[in-house]
Amino acid sequence: MRKIGFIGLGIMGKPMARNLIKAGHQLVVYDINKTAVSELVSEGAEQGLSSSDVASKTDLIITMLPNSPEVKEVALGKDGVIEGAGPGTILIDMSSIAPLAAIEVHDKLKEKKIDMLDAPVSGGEPKAIEGTLAIMVGGDQSIFDSVKDILLIMGSSAVLVGGIGSGNTTKLANQIIVALNIAAMSEAMVLATRAKVDPEKVFEAIRGGLAGSTVLNAKMPMVLEGNFKPGFRIELHIKDLMNAMETAHELDTPLLLTNLALEIMKALKVDGKQGDDHGGMIQFYEKLAGVKVRKP
């Protein structure tokens, strides 16, 4: 069993950390949310006083943070990981951030002989709780091999896709596909509802064919119940798609449909729905068409 630092105990980080505790690992945890820290301390974790303090007490640190600025601050800022970690420490950043930000953090940590993997995840809160996340990893093979067993406590799969930054590039690709799946589902089901065809029966009819997908199976039952309780919030998907667009601009790569999905989600944010599950994207289409896609 290892002593592991865990920084970032939000909607994803807390259940991920909890699964490591359940597996018998000793955790040193830190978050600005003291309630989340206290909750895990009551379950056996040790409280860290800062990111630097966590790093000084462990040689493997996991971060799960909102976006690139927070990762840079926690890793490289005042009282950050870089100030407390010794040579040979491994930082696994499981946040979803811009690939170039991951490379920047990696390069600065490397100057201090601190190793890093970028390892964003897919699956949302339900799979974080289950420990069945899909984990996309960028970094060196030897470092990945040394921590793969830890990753597989939090996920059902952990795949090394390339060098540092490639984990987050893969996550951006994932988020593009998920967003466009939800948009396609939304358009199709609003059309069916406007045509007075039961959307639940349409779902049952198409889910086993080529139009079927993990996204459809996960989100359509929620839509039919009018349940937009967040597993993954619209505002977080906006963040990921903005990172995708930023990366695309840097690489001169057109992302026409991604930009449209981003604008739809931004419109929902203006409408006060940024805290809804991203399956709530259908509400944009429902409002335009004047229908609700629900069970009869």
Which parts of 1-97 fold into alpha helices (H)?
13-22, 34-41, 51-57, 68-76, 81-84
Per the listing, tokens 């349940």 go with 227
Q: Distance between terminal CA atoms of the chain?
A: 52
Residue 151: CB atoms within 10 Å: 21
108 is catalytic: no
Strands (E), 25-127: 26-30, 46-47, 60-63, 90-93, 115-118, 121-122
Strand partners, 136: 159
Pairing of strands 133-138, 155-162: parallel
- The single residue listed with the structure tokens 């943070």 is 65
Name the 3-class secondary structure at 136.
strand
User: Cα-flanking dihedrals φ and ψ of residue 90, to 5°?
Assistant: -115, 130
User: What DSSP character marks residue 86?
Assistant: P
Residue of 14, 72, 171, 273 marked active site:
171
Three-point CA angle 281, 126, 221, nearest 5°: 45
Distance between CA atoms of 38 and 44, rounded to whole angstroms? 10
Q: Enumerate the active-site residues.
A: 171
